[in-house]
Amino acid sequence: MLAFIVSAIRLGMTLLFGSTGETITEKSGHLNLGIPGIMCVGASCGCYAEYIYIDSVVSKGLEINSILAVLIPVLATLIGGAIMGVLFSFLTVTLHANQNVTGLAITTLGVGISDYMIDKTDLIYIRGAAYFKASLPFASKLGWFGEVFFSHGVLVYLAIIIAVVTSFILNRTRIGLHLRAVGENPATADAAGINVSLYRYVATSIGCGIAGLGGLSFIMDYLNGNWEYVIDDIGWLAIALVIFTVWKPNFAIIGSIIFGGLYIASSYITGVSFAGKELFKMLPYIVTIIVLIFTSMRSKKKNQPPQSLGLPYFREER
Amino acid sequence: MNNNLALECRNITKTFGRVYANKNCSLDVKKGEILAILGENGSGKTTLMNMVAGIYFPDSGKIFVNGQEVLIRSPKDAFEQKIGMIHQHFKLVDVFSAVENIALGVDDGNKYKLSNITKKVIEITQRYGFIIDPEKKIYDMSVSEKQTVEIIKVLYRGADILILDEPTAVLTPQETEKLFAVLRRMREDGKSIIIITHKMHEVLSISDRVAVLRKGEHVSTVNTAETNETELTEMMMGEKISLDITRSEPVNSVPRLEVKNITSFNEEGRKVLDDISFTAYSGEILGIAGIAGSGQRELLESIAGLHNLAEGEITYFDPITNNIENLRDKTPLQIRDLGVRLSFVPEDRLGMGLVGNMDIIDNMMLRSYTKGKSAFLERKEPKDLADKIIKDLNVATPGATTPVRQLSGGNVQKVLVGREIASSPSVLMAAYPVRGLDVNASYTIYNLLNEQKVSGVAVIFVGEDLDVLLELCDRILVINSGKITGIVDGRTAKKEEIGLLMVKSTETEGEEK
């Protein structure tokens, strides 16, 4: 049971990166279905940076700095994800492309880029993962409490910090107010003197950078540096999580753990056939569908997606 | 330079394509006064004010604020000049509270804290006597509350010149009174207020001066105290222009459609049709005149079965079977099959009736696909029809397979009207069929309607241009705020007479409570 909870938290935090990133993006009115691809790109950039760093340091016979070994991949991931976000925004904001089509194209592109960049059999990533998994020294002394709360790598805590900060910015700052206005009603925001395109570009890029961290966290933290599973599965789950948590990053902290748990539940229940396991993996999506049904049935304006989500904005059309 | 002027527009010209929206318009507003801008639909009132508010940029002309010449390129520039406009369509974020909406886009350098903003908002509300709950979400608000938020928003940004575009169009008489009380208080506070309106009695009751615009030009500005309803209407309507539209005497007129006491409400529960009764005869063109949004659309849609009625009867006398049918129990499809046809040309033209991405043939089939005999679509008949319309109405198109959206506006309308006429209707309702058309294309449409009239169809024509209505229609029904204020003879009626009926106050007898 303990192993299950710890595992659920780890996978959950991977999802949390994705869903926080997507929430920021969606608050600007961009429905970015490219998240799975962006997570792949993020993970690939991070891992590739880690590979270069470790390789160069080891070849010179120097010591690996454990802080740099985490910081460099994280920065590379953020940059890689953000570049994908800029690409998405360029297509949808500047060139007025359809957001859904663009998003799906970005997913396909991202998966392809990651396949091209990463040699999945290379063991160097496992070496790098060790730095990500380093946990607080006293965790093992606190029994189950330490195991659940303190045994994780740095990315798990980063995910929570980002979610909390995002929630604060969205609801408590002027920037958040403006961003939400852009996603709800860009024409109104424009009339109020807010630069809609700029907000969409920046929010999407930041969101994609954060989502990219989800990919890195999945490989380096959850899979210990193994590229054995495809990341894009997790990407779709992250998008579903955004809906499940009704566009609230602070809800997502709990929601992501529930999703993580549901996704891996099959592995911890004995006597489930292989086909049955796949059925279990569907649970998060089924829950999402149920949430969608409920939110739309109650038609509470509070828990609805941003009103102009997925809609382009051209000033001339007002 | 007169220091007393808050805003001065000098020789402003603005064109959209080849059409003049404003031509050499000059206008001024003093500090601490309420100026009403009066004019017919399309007289350029809103366009002029949009230029002051930074939505459009004038082609030529100058704008002065407090005696200084200014360039206003965006709403932001307008705010810097302390000009705020309250648009007809509110620009509010639904899921935000009033305060959040008011704070939107304002960066006054202070730390963002909603409680401070709320305090400031309450100060404003108390100063001018607004009644609003600052924490309330917009989606829970009534139209009048939303308008209040819009006004506070402008005041919060420190506006000294407020422009209100038809603020009373959406308000009940009581709410209007409250708004006027607030406006008067603002005037006492030294603010300049420009109010755009159609409603004569409001002009007379609230304004200090009235500026009248006609066809994009500034006719005159007069002191409200020294003028009256008739004089203003004359200025607004102008001289009658002769158009030379042929009009034949109606022959064999028999009642075709009888509308009896219909009343209807819109989604917000406001009365849009109020006890309307009239009869449309075969072989005549019945014109409907009225300020935009007076209930024309709802009336036609009610007849076509697209709008729910609260009360009343619509009776149809079938010329073929001589049956008397009650249209209220029928579905839109059944009504259509009886021969009652509606061609409505909305502002965006393609919005109703035609599918832009489909070609002319397919658009013909939208009306006839249910009549096919086999399981597959019959393309021959609609193709013949499309070819016929293209030939008869001179539709400029590369061919019948061209998507409708690629045609110019006039040609789209010809296709739309042509299709409805092709079904040989017995009642043809055409709303704004010449909207946005040039002169020649308009005459093609008038001739089409006349042909229908001669062949014994009851034609109902909703138009914007009074000159056209007076030359084309046999009778003109004037609708004002959902009520019929008069039915006049198209041959003898005077333009001013219709103008007065269009704008005269109807609220005296209709007031509730």
CATH class given for the domain over A2-317: mainly alpha
- Asked whether residue B441 is domain-assigned, the answer is yes
| pTM for the model | 0.75
Whole-complex ipTM: 0.81
Cβ-defined contact of B96 to A184 (cutoff 8 Å) = yes
Are B48 and B148 part of one and the same domain? Answer: yes
Average pLDDT, chain B: 83
Q: Which domain does B80 fall in, by range?
A: 5-237
Instruction: Output the CA torsion sign for B264, B268, B271, B273.
Output: negative
Question: How far are the Cα atoms of A52, B326, B405 from residue B410, in angstroms, in the given order?
Answer: 65, 35, 11
**Identity of the residue in B75, B96, B139 whose CB atom sits nearest the CB atom of A191:** B75
Q: How far is B312 from chain A (nearest CA, A)?
A: 33
Which secondary-structure segment (H or E) carries A187? helix A186-191
Are B48 and B161 part of one and the same domain? Answer: yes
Residue B66: pLDDT above 70?
yes
pLDDT digit string (tens) for A201-217?
999 999 999 999 999 99
Cβ-defined contact of A184 to B93 (cutoff 8 Å) = yes
B221: its two tokens: 């500005």
| Cα separation, B34 vs B300, whole angstroms | 37
Residues of B in contact with A247 (CB under 8 A): none
- Asked whether residue B139 is domain-assigned, the answer is yes
CATH number reported for the structural domain that contains residue B96 in this entry: 3.40.50.300
Cβ-defined contact of B104 to A304 (cutoff 8 Å) = no
Instruction: Please report the pLDDT score of residue B44 as a whole number.
Output: 83
In 3-state terms, what secondary structure has residue B5? Answer: strand
Task: Specify whether the CB–CB gap between A76 and A216 falls below 8 A.
Answer: no
Phi/psi of residue B216, each to 5°?
85, -5
Residues 6+ apart with CB under 8 A from B299: B259, B262, B273, B276, B288, B479
Helices vs. strands in chain A: H and E counts, helices first: 14, 0
Domain segments of chain A as ranges: 2-317
Residues of B in contact with A191 (CB under 8 A): 75, 91
Cβ-defined contact of A301 to B94 (cutoff 8 Å) = yes
Instruction: Please report the pLDDT score of residue B266 as a whole number.
Output: 79
Are B309 and B373 part of one and the same domain? Answer: no
Are B147 and B278 part of one and the same domain? Answer: no
**Identity of the residue in A173, A189, A301 whose CB atom sits nearest the CB atom of B95:** A301
B481-484, long-range: CB within 8 Å, 24+ apart, which pairs? B481/B274, B481/B294, B481/B295, B481/B506, B481/B507, B481/B510, B482/B271, B482/B272, B482/B273, B482/B274, B482/B276, B482/B294, B482/B295, B482/B298, B483/B274, B483/B275, B483/B276, B483/B295, B483/B510, B484/B276, B484/B277, B484/B278
- Asked whether residue B345 is domain-assigned, the answer is no
Residue B492: pLDDT above 60?
yes
- Asked whether residue B293 is domain-assigned, the answer is yes
Are B13 and B161 part of one and the same domain? Answer: yes
Chain centroid, CA B485 distance in Å = 18
Per-residue b or e along B92-124, where b marks 16 or more CB atoms closer than 10 Å to that residue's CB: bbbbbbbbbbbbbbbeeeeebebeebbebbeeb
Query: CB distance from A174 to chain B under 8 Å?
Result: yes
Residues of A in contact with B104 (CB under 8 A): 177-178, 181, 188-189, 192, 194
Are B118 and B219 part of one and the same domain? Answer: yes
Instruction: Please report the pLDDT score of residue A318 as a whole number.
Output: 36
Average pLDDT, chain A: 88
Query: CB distance from A184 to chain B under 8 Å?
Result: yes
Query: CB distance from B77 to chain A under 8 Å?
Result: no
Residues 6+ apart with CB under 8 A from B375: none
Residues of B in contact with A188 (CB under 8 A): 91-93, 104
- Asked whether residue B53 is domain-assigned, the answer is yes
Total domains in chain B come to 3
Residue B139: pLDDT above 60?
yes
- Asked whether residue B243 is domain-assigned, the answer is no
Which of A27, A173, A185 to substitute to test the interface with B, most B CBs within 10 Å? A185
Cβ-defined contact of A192 to B91 (cutoff 8 Å) = yes
Query: CB distance from A301 to chain B under 8 Å?
Result: yes
Pick B430 or B434 by higher pLDDT. Answer: B430
Strand arrangement of the beta sheet that strand B5-16 belongs to = B19-30, B5-16, B60-65, B68-70
Portion of chain A with pLDDT greater than 90, in percent: 45
Q: Among B386, B404, B424, which residue terminates a domain?
A: B424
Instruction: Please report the pLDDT score of residue A36 as a whole number.
Output: 94
Cβ neighbours around A124 below 10 Å, total: 16
Residues 6+ apart with CB under 8 A from A178: A189, A194, A199, B104, B105
Portion of chain B with pLDDT greater than 90, in percent: 15
Instruction: Please report the pLDDT score of residue B437 as a whole number.
Output: 67
CB-count burial class (<10 Å; 0-12, 13-18, 19+) for B333:
exposed
Instruction: Please report the pLDDT score of residue B505 as a whole number.
Output: 62
CB-count burial class (<10 Å; 0-12, 13-18, 19+) for B131:
exposed
Are B492 and B474 part of one and the same domain? Answer: yes
Instruction: Please report the pLDDT score of residue B142 as a whole number.
Output: 83
- Asked whether residue B35 is domain-assigned, the answer is yes
Residue with tokens 């001179």: B394
